[in-house]
Structure 1
Protein backbone atom coordinates (compact mmCIF):
# COMPACT_ATOMS: atom_id res chain seq x y z
CA UNK A 1 0.00 0.00 0.00
CA UNK A 2 2.83 2.36 0.87
CA UNK A 3 4.41 1.65 -2.54
CA UNK A 4 1.21 2.66 -4.34
CA UNK A 5 1.00 5.91 -2.39
CA UNK A 6 4.65 6.74 -3.13
CA UNK A 7 4.12 5.95 -6.82
CA UNK A 8 1.05 8.19 -6.93
CA UNK A 9 2.91 11.02 -5.20
CA UNK A 10 5.89 10.70 -7.55
CA UNK A 11 3.66 10.86 -10.67
CA UNK A 12 1.47 13.70 -9.42
CA UNK A 13 3.79 16.61 -10.36
CA UNK A 14 3.83 15.39 -13.95
CA UNK A 15 0.06 15.39 -14.30
CA UNK A 16 -0.98 18.50 -12.40
CA UNK A 17 -0.80 21.77 -14.32
CA UNK A 18 0.37 20.15 -17.53
CA UNK A 19 -1.20 21.39 -20.73
CA UNK A 20 -1.43 18.67 -23.37
CA UNK A 21 -2.61 18.78 -26.97
CA UNK A 22 -3.19 15.43 -28.70
CA UNK A 23 -4.58 14.30 -32.02
CA UNK A 24 -7.25 11.66 -31.64
CA UNK A 25 -5.90 9.90 -34.74
CA UNK A 26 -2.32 10.24 -36.01
CA UNK A 27 -3.14 9.56 -39.65
CA UNK A 28 -6.19 9.88 -41.83
CA UNK A 29 -6.90 8.65 -45.33
CA UNK A 30 -9.69 9.75 -47.64
CA UNK A 31 -10.59 9.99 -51.28
CA UNK A 32 -10.71 13.28 -53.14
CA UNK A 33 -14.08 15.07 -53.23
CA UNK A 34 -15.05 13.40 -49.93
CA UNK A 35 -15.18 15.08 -46.50
CA UNK A 36 -13.17 14.35 -43.37
CA UNK A 37 -13.08 15.47 -39.75
CA UNK A 38 -9.71 16.18 -38.14
CA UNK A 39 -9.85 16.01 -34.35
CA UNK A 40 -7.55 17.21 -31.55
CA UNK A 41 -8.02 17.27 -27.79
CA UNK A 42 -6.45 19.60 -25.27
CA UNK A 43 -6.38 20.05 -21.53
CA UNK A 44 -9.05 22.32 -20.10
CA UNK A 45 -9.42 23.89 -16.70
CA UNK A 46 -12.49 24.99 -14.80
CA UNK A 47 -11.44 28.64 -15.02
CA UNK A 48 -10.55 28.57 -18.74
CA UNK A 49 -12.40 31.15 -20.77
CA UNK A 50 -13.13 30.54 -24.46
CA UNK A 51 -12.18 34.16 -25.12
CA UNK A 52 -8.66 33.25 -23.99
CA UNK A 53 -8.26 30.36 -26.47
CA UNK A 54 -5.97 30.79 -29.44
CA UNK A 55 -5.78 28.05 -32.12
CA UNK A 56 -3.60 28.02 -35.20
CA UNK A 57 -3.64 25.07 -37.62
CA UNK A 58 -1.44 24.70 -40.68
CA UNK A 59 -0.55 22.24 -43.41
CA UNK A 60 3.23 21.88 -43.18
CA UNK A 61 4.84 21.87 -46.63
CA UNK A 62 8.28 22.55 -48.09
CA UNK A 63 7.25 25.73 -49.93
CA UNK A 64 4.77 27.42 -47.62
CA UNK A 65 2.61 26.50 -44.66
CA UNK A 66 -0.98 27.30 -45.67
CA UNK A 67 -3.29 28.14 -42.77
CA UNK A 68 -6.13 25.65 -42.35
CA UNK A 69 -7.81 27.33 -39.37
CA UNK A 70 -7.23 30.29 -37.07
CA UNK A 71 -9.07 31.12 -33.84
CA UNK A 72 -8.02 34.27 -31.92
CA UNK A 73 -9.44 34.94 -28.46
CA UNK A 74 -12.28 32.51 -29.18
CA UNK A 75 -13.20 34.17 -32.48
CA UNK A 76 -12.62 32.57 -35.88
CA UNK A 77 -10.32 34.57 -38.19
CA UNK A 78 -11.31 33.49 -41.73
CA UNK A 79 -9.20 36.15 -43.46
CA UNK A 80 -5.99 34.44 -42.30
CA UNK A 81 -7.10 31.14 -43.82
CA UNK A 82 -5.25 30.15 -47.00
CA UNK A 83 -7.33 30.27 -50.18
CA UNK A 84 -6.61 26.52 -50.63
CA UNK A 85 -9.00 25.90 -47.71
CA UNK A 86 -11.34 28.84 -48.15
CA UNK A 87 -14.98 27.84 -47.73
CA UNK A 88 -14.10 24.19 -47.08
CA UNK A 89 -13.34 24.16 -43.32
CA UNK A 90 -16.04 24.17 -40.66
CA UNK A 91 -15.21 24.55 -36.98
CA UNK A 92 -17.28 22.77 -34.34
CA UNK A 93 -17.45 25.43 -31.61
CA UNK A 94 -19.78 23.37 -29.40
CA UNK A 95 -17.05 20.92 -28.39
CA UNK A 96 -14.33 23.53 -27.74
CA UNK A 97 -15.36 23.97 -24.10
CA UNK A 98 -14.84 20.19 -23.64
CA UNK A 99 -11.26 20.53 -24.84
CA UNK A 100 -11.87 19.30 -28.38
CA UNK A 101 -10.89 20.90 -31.63
CA UNK A 102 -12.92 19.40 -34.45
CA UNK A 103 -12.40 20.64 -38.02
CA UNK A 104 -14.59 19.37 -40.86
CA UNK A 105 -12.79 19.66 -44.21
CA UNK A 106 -15.05 19.22 -47.23
CA UNK A 107 -14.43 18.50 -50.92
CA UNK A 108 -10.95 17.13 -50.30
CA UNK A 109 -8.27 17.59 -52.95
CA UNK A 110 -5.11 15.56 -53.47
CA UNK A 111 -3.05 18.66 -52.64
CA UNK A 112 -4.63 18.61 -49.16
CA UNK A 113 -2.38 15.63 -48.38
CA UNK A 114 0.35 16.25 -45.84
CA UNK A 115 1.24 16.88 -42.22
CA UNK A 116 -1.13 19.12 -40.23
CA UNK A 117 -0.13 20.84 -36.99
CA UNK A 118 -2.52 22.56 -34.63
CA UNK A 119 -1.22 24.75 -31.87
CA UNK A 120 -3.52 25.59 -28.96
CA UNK A 121 -2.75 28.39 -26.50
CA UNK A 122 -4.62 29.49 -23.41
CA UNK A 123 -3.80 31.98 -20.68
CA UNK A 124 -2.15 29.14 -18.77
CA UNK A 125 -0.06 27.30 -21.36
CA UNK A 126 0.35 26.13 -24.96
CA UNK A 127 0.90 22.91 -26.85
CA UNK A 128 0.62 21.37 -30.29
CA UNK A 129 0.34 18.06 -32.06
CA UNK A 130 0.44 16.80 -35.64
CA UNK A 131 -1.47 14.38 -37.80
CA UNK A 132 -1.04 13.17 -41.36
CA UNK A 133 -3.71 13.23 -44.06
CA UNK A 134 -3.44 11.29 -47.31
CA UNK A 135 -5.98 12.14 -50.00
CA UNK A 136 -6.06 9.69 -52.89
CA UNK A 137 -7.41 10.42 -56.35
CA UNK A 138 -11.06 9.55 -56.82
CA UNK A 139 -11.48 6.15 -58.39
CA UNK A 140 -13.28 6.18 -61.69
CA UNK A 141 -16.64 4.53 -61.38
CA UNK A 142 -16.31 1.15 -63.08
CA UNK A 143 -18.94 0.40 -65.65
CA UNK A 144 -21.32 -2.28 -64.47
CA UNK A 145 -20.57 -5.66 -65.95
CA UNK A 146 -23.08 -6.78 -68.50
CA UNK A 147 -23.41 -10.47 -69.11
CA UNK A 148 -23.76 -11.00 -72.82
CA UNK A 149 -23.26 -14.08 -74.87
CA UNK A 150 -20.38 -13.59 -77.22
CA UNK A 151 -20.77 -15.22 -80.60
CA UNK A 152 -18.57 -18.21 -81.13
CA UNK A 153 -16.04 -17.94 -83.96
CA UNK A 154 -17.07 -19.49 -87.23
CA UNK A 155 -15.23 -22.28 -89.00
CA UNK A 156 -16.33 -23.19 -92.55
CA UNK A 157 -19.59 -21.39 -92.08
CA UNK A 158 -20.45 -23.21 -88.84
CA UNK A 159 -20.08 -22.00 -85.33
CA UNK A 160 -17.57 -24.03 -83.32
CA UNK A 161 -20.29 -25.04 -80.88
CA UNK A 162 -22.47 -26.30 -83.70
CA UNK A 163 -19.54 -28.17 -85.22
CA UNK A 164 -18.66 -29.84 -81.93
CA UNK A 165 -22.25 -30.86 -81.35
CA UNK A 166 -22.44 -32.28 -84.85
CA UNK A 167 -19.13 -34.12 -84.42
CA UNK A 168 -20.23 -35.51 -81.06
CA UNK A 169 -23.30 -36.95 -82.71
CA UNK A 170 -21.36 -38.27 -85.73
CA UNK A 171 -18.24 -39.73 -84.07
CA UNK A 172 -19.71 -42.59 -82.00
CA UNK A 173 -21.38 -44.26 -84.99
CA UNK A 174 -18.18 -43.73 -86.98
CA UNK A 175 -16.10 -45.46 -84.30
CA UNK A 176 -18.56 -48.32 -84.13
CA UNK A 177 -18.47 -48.77 -87.91
CA UNK A 178 -14.67 -48.60 -88.03
CA UNK A 179 -14.36 -51.06 -85.16
CA UNK A 180 -16.84 -53.44 -86.78
CA UNK A 181 -15.03 -53.20 -90.14
CA UNK A 182 -11.65 -53.97 -88.54
CA UNK A 183 -13.10 -56.78 -86.44
CA UNK A 184 -14.86 -58.52 -89.30
CA UNK A 185 -11.95 -57.94 -91.75
CA UNK A 186 -9.53 -59.84 -89.50
CA UNK A 187 -11.89 -62.80 -89.09
Structure 2
Protein backbone atom coordinates (compact mmCIF):
# COMPACT_ATOMS: atom_id res chain seq x y z
CA UNK A 1 0.00 0.00 0.00
CA UNK A 2 1.42 3.39 -0.98
CA UNK A 3 1.86 6.23 1.51
CA UNK A 4 -0.93 8.23 -0.11
CA UNK A 5 -3.58 5.52 0.11
CA UNK A 6 -2.62 4.93 3.75
CA UNK A 7 -3.10 8.64 4.49
CA UNK A 8 -6.61 8.90 3.01
CA UNK A 9 -8.38 7.18 5.95
CA UNK A 10 -6.44 9.39 8.38
CA UNK A 11 -7.49 12.55 6.51
CA UNK A 12 -11.11 11.40 6.45
CA UNK A 13 -11.01 10.63 10.17
CA UNK A 14 -9.47 14.01 11.04
CA UNK A 15 -12.02 15.86 8.90
CA UNK A 16 -14.90 13.94 10.49
CA UNK A 17 -13.48 14.64 13.96
CA UNK A 18 -13.13 18.36 13.21
CA UNK A 19 -16.69 18.57 11.94
CA UNK A 20 -18.00 16.67 14.97
CA UNK A 21 -16.21 18.95 17.42
CA UNK A 22 -17.37 22.04 15.51
CA UNK A 23 -13.97 23.10 14.21
CA UNK A 24 -13.78 23.81 10.53
CA UNK A 25 -10.69 22.26 8.97
CA UNK A 26 -8.46 24.58 6.97
CA UNK A 27 -9.57 24.94 3.38
CA UNK A 28 -7.49 25.59 0.31
CA UNK A 29 -8.72 26.91 -2.97
CA UNK A 30 -8.03 24.57 -5.86
CA UNK A 31 -8.45 27.28 -8.47
CA UNK A 32 -5.67 29.67 -9.28
CA UNK A 33 -6.67 33.03 -10.71
CA UNK A 34 -4.56 34.93 -13.19
CA UNK A 35 -4.68 38.72 -13.27
CA UNK A 36 -3.10 40.83 -16.00
CA UNK A 37 -2.37 44.53 -15.75
CA UNK A 38 -0.18 47.20 -17.24
CA UNK A 39 2.73 48.88 -15.49
CA UNK A 40 1.75 52.01 -13.47
CA UNK A 41 -1.91 50.93 -13.40
CA UNK A 42 -3.99 49.48 -10.54
CA UNK A 43 -5.52 46.04 -10.07
CA UNK A 44 -7.83 44.55 -7.45
CA UNK A 45 -7.21 40.92 -6.49
CA UNK A 46 -10.49 39.37 -5.34
CA UNK A 47 -11.26 36.07 -3.66
CA UNK A 48 -14.29 34.63 -1.85
CA UNK A 49 -14.22 32.02 0.92
CA UNK A 50 -16.85 30.35 3.12
CA UNK A 51 -17.61 31.95 6.46
CA UNK A 52 -20.11 31.25 9.22
CA UNK A 53 -22.64 34.05 8.95
CA UNK A 54 -24.27 33.45 12.34
CA UNK A 55 -21.05 34.20 14.23
CA UNK A 56 -19.63 37.68 14.82
CA UNK A 57 -16.05 38.28 13.78
CA UNK A 58 -13.88 38.50 16.87
CA UNK A 59 -10.50 38.10 15.22
CA UNK A 60 -9.25 38.69 11.71
CA UNK A 61 -5.83 37.80 10.32
CA UNK A 62 -4.80 38.55 6.73
CA UNK A 63 -1.36 37.76 5.37
CA UNK A 64 -0.36 38.29 1.74
CA UNK A 65 2.91 36.69 0.75
CA UNK A 66 4.95 37.02 -2.43
CA UNK A 67 8.23 35.94 -3.92
CA UNK A 68 10.68 33.11 -3.85
CA UNK A 69 11.23 32.51 -0.99
CA UNK A 70 7.83 33.70 0.23
CA UNK A 71 7.89 36.89 2.26
CA UNK A 72 5.04 38.77 3.85
CA UNK A 73 4.15 41.98 2.00
CA UNK A 74 0.91 42.78 3.84
CA UNK A 75 -0.09 41.62 7.31
CA UNK A 76 -3.15 42.58 9.33
CA UNK A 77 -3.90 41.00 12.72
CA UNK A 78 -6.60 42.19 15.14
CA UNK A 79 -4.96 40.27 18.00
CA UNK A 80 -2.14 42.81 18.08
CA UNK A 81 -4.18 46.01 18.35
CA UNK A 82 -5.08 45.84 14.65
CA UNK A 83 -1.57 46.69 13.52
CA UNK A 84 -0.83 46.75 9.82
CA UNK A 85 2.55 45.74 8.42
CA UNK A 86 3.59 46.35 4.86
CA UNK A 87 6.83 45.42 3.13
CA UNK A 88 8.83 48.54 2.20
CA UNK A 89 8.51 47.77 -1.53
CA UNK A 90 4.71 47.60 -1.21
CA UNK A 91 4.16 50.26 1.45
CA UNK A 92 1.32 52.54 0.41
CA UNK A 93 0.62 50.43 -2.70
CA UNK A 94 -1.40 47.54 -1.19
CA UNK A 95 -4.62 47.81 0.77
CA UNK A 96 -7.38 45.34 1.64
CA UNK A 97 -11.01 46.03 2.46
CA UNK A 98 -11.19 44.68 6.01
CA UNK A 99 -14.98 44.93 6.27
CA UNK A 100 -15.44 42.72 3.21
CA UNK A 101 -13.04 40.17 4.72
CA UNK A 102 -15.44 39.79 7.63
CA UNK A 103 -18.13 38.73 5.15
CA UNK A 104 -16.07 36.08 3.36
CA UNK A 105 -14.63 38.15 0.54
CA UNK A 106 -11.14 39.58 0.09
CA UNK A 107 -10.50 42.56 -2.16
CA UNK A 108 -6.97 43.89 -2.14
CA UNK A 109 -6.03 46.88 -4.28
CA UNK A 110 -2.52 47.00 -5.72
CA UNK A 111 -1.66 50.48 -7.01
CA UNK A 112 1.14 51.85 -9.19
CA UNK A 113 2.09 48.39 -10.43
CA UNK A 114 5.71 47.68 -11.31
CA UNK A 115 7.13 45.04 -13.62
CA UNK A 116 8.72 43.23 -10.66
CA UNK A 117 5.24 42.84 -9.07
CA UNK A 118 4.71 39.97 -11.52
CA UNK A 119 4.45 36.63 -9.73
CA UNK A 120 2.36 34.42 -7.46
CA UNK A 121 0.66 35.88 -4.39
CA UNK A 122 -0.51 33.68 -1.52
CA UNK A 123 -3.37 34.88 0.70
CA UNK A 124 -3.88 33.47 4.19
CA UNK A 125 -7.04 34.57 5.96
CA UNK A 126 -8.09 33.45 9.43
CA UNK A 127 -11.51 34.54 10.69
CA UNK A 128 -12.35 33.33 14.21
CA UNK A 129 -10.08 30.27 13.97
CA UNK A 130 -11.33 29.36 10.45
CA UNK A 131 -8.31 29.32 8.16
CA UNK A 132 -8.44 29.82 4.38
CA UNK A 133 -5.65 30.03 1.81
CA UNK A 134 -5.64 31.06 -1.82
CA UNK A 135 -3.02 31.83 -4.44
CA UNK A 136 -3.22 33.85 -7.63
CA UNK A 137 -0.84 35.00 -10.34
CA UNK A 138 -0.31 38.60 -11.35
CA UNK A 139 1.27 39.43 -14.70
CA UNK A 140 2.39 43.03 -15.16
CA UNK A 141 3.32 44.11 -18.68
CA UNK A 142 5.26 47.18 -19.76
CA UNK A 143 3.22 50.31 -20.30
CA UNK A 144 2.68 51.35 -23.88
CA UNK A 145 3.83 54.95 -24.18
CA UNK A 146 1.82 57.00 -26.61
CA UNK A 147 3.57 60.08 -28.03
CA UNK A 148 2.20 63.21 -26.47
CA UNK A 149 2.63 66.55 -28.22
CA UNK A 150 3.97 68.94 -25.63
CA UNK A 151 3.01 71.99 -27.64
CA UNK A 152 0.42 72.16 -30.33
CA UNK A 153 1.54 74.33 -33.25
CA UNK A 154 -0.85 75.85 -35.69
CA UNK A 155 -0.72 74.28 -39.12
CA UNK A 156 2.21 75.71 -41.02
CA UNK A 157 2.13 76.71 -44.66
CA UNK A 158 5.77 75.70 -45.04
CA UNK A 159 7.46 75.74 -48.45
CA UNK A 160 4.19 75.29 -50.35
CA UNK A 161 2.94 78.63 -49.08
CA UNK A 162 6.18 80.32 -50.07
CA UNK A 163 6.01 78.92 -53.61
CA UNK A 164 2.35 79.87 -53.98
CA UNK A 165 3.05 83.39 -52.79
CA UNK A 166 6.00 83.76 -55.17
CA UNK A 167 3.93 82.43 -58.10
CA UNK A 168 1.13 84.90 -57.28
CA UNK A 169 3.65 87.75 -57.19
CA UNK A 170 4.97 86.81 -60.65
CA UNK A 171 1.43 86.55 -62.13
CA UNK A 172 0.39 89.92 -60.67
CA UNK A 173 3.61 91.53 -61.93
CA UNK A 174 3.14 90.06 -65.43
CA UNK A 175 -0.53 91.04 -65.68
CA UNK A 176 -0.26 94.56 -64.38
CA UNK A 177 3.24 95.19 -65.72
CA UNK A 178 4.42 96.82 -62.58
TM-score (norm 1): 0.58
Instruction: Give CA-to-partner distance per residue, 1:30-77, whole Å, 9 cap, x none.
Output: 011000001121211134443322111111x22x43423212127653
Shift, 1:23, TM fit: 8.8
Where 2:113 maps in the other structure, the secondary structure is coil
> Structure 2 unaligned runs (5+)?
1-15, 150-178
| Aligned mates of 1:71, 1:85 — CA distance in 2 | 14
Please give the alpha-carbon distance, in whole angstroms, between the structure 2 residues aligned to 1:68 and 1:48: 29
Over the aligned positions, Cα root-mean-square deviation in angstroms equals: 3.4
Could you say what secondary structure the match of 1:94 adopts? helix
Could you tell me how far apart the structure 2 residues matched to 1:24 and 1:35 are? 23
Distance 2:116 2:55 in 1: 36
Judged with a 3 Å threshold, the aligned counterparts in structure 2 of structure 1 residues 48 and 22 are, in CA distance, closer, same or farther, namely: farther
Q: Structure 1 residues 143, 55: closer, same or farther in 2, change over 3 A?
A: closer
Corresponding residue to 1:125 among 127, 130, 155? 130
Residues 1:44 and 2:55 are matched in the alignment: no
Number of corresponding residues: 134
The aligned residue for residue 86 of structure 2 is 81
User: Which residue of structure 1 aligns with residue 142 of structure 2?
Assistant: 137
Among 82, 106, 111, the residue aligned to 1:106: 111
Structure 2 Cα separation of the partners of residues 99 and 109 of structure 1? 29
Q: Counterpart in 1 of 2:38?
A: 31
Residues 85 and 98 of structure 1: CA distance in aligned 2, closer, same or farther (over 3 Å): same
- Residues 23 and 41 in structure 1, CA contact (< 8 A), matched pair in contact too: no
Match of 1:183 in 2: none
Distance 2:30 2:38 in 1: 21
- The TM-score normalised by the length of structure 2 is 0.61
Distance apart, 1:22 and its partner CA: 4.1
Q: Where in structure 2 are the equivalents of 1:1-187 lying within 5 Å?
A: 17=24, 20=27, 22=29, 26-59=33-66, 61-62=67-68, 64-73=69-78, 76-78=82-84, 80-142=85-147
Please give the alpha-carbon distance, in whole angstroms, between the structure 1 residues aligned to 2:29 and 2:72. Answer: 19
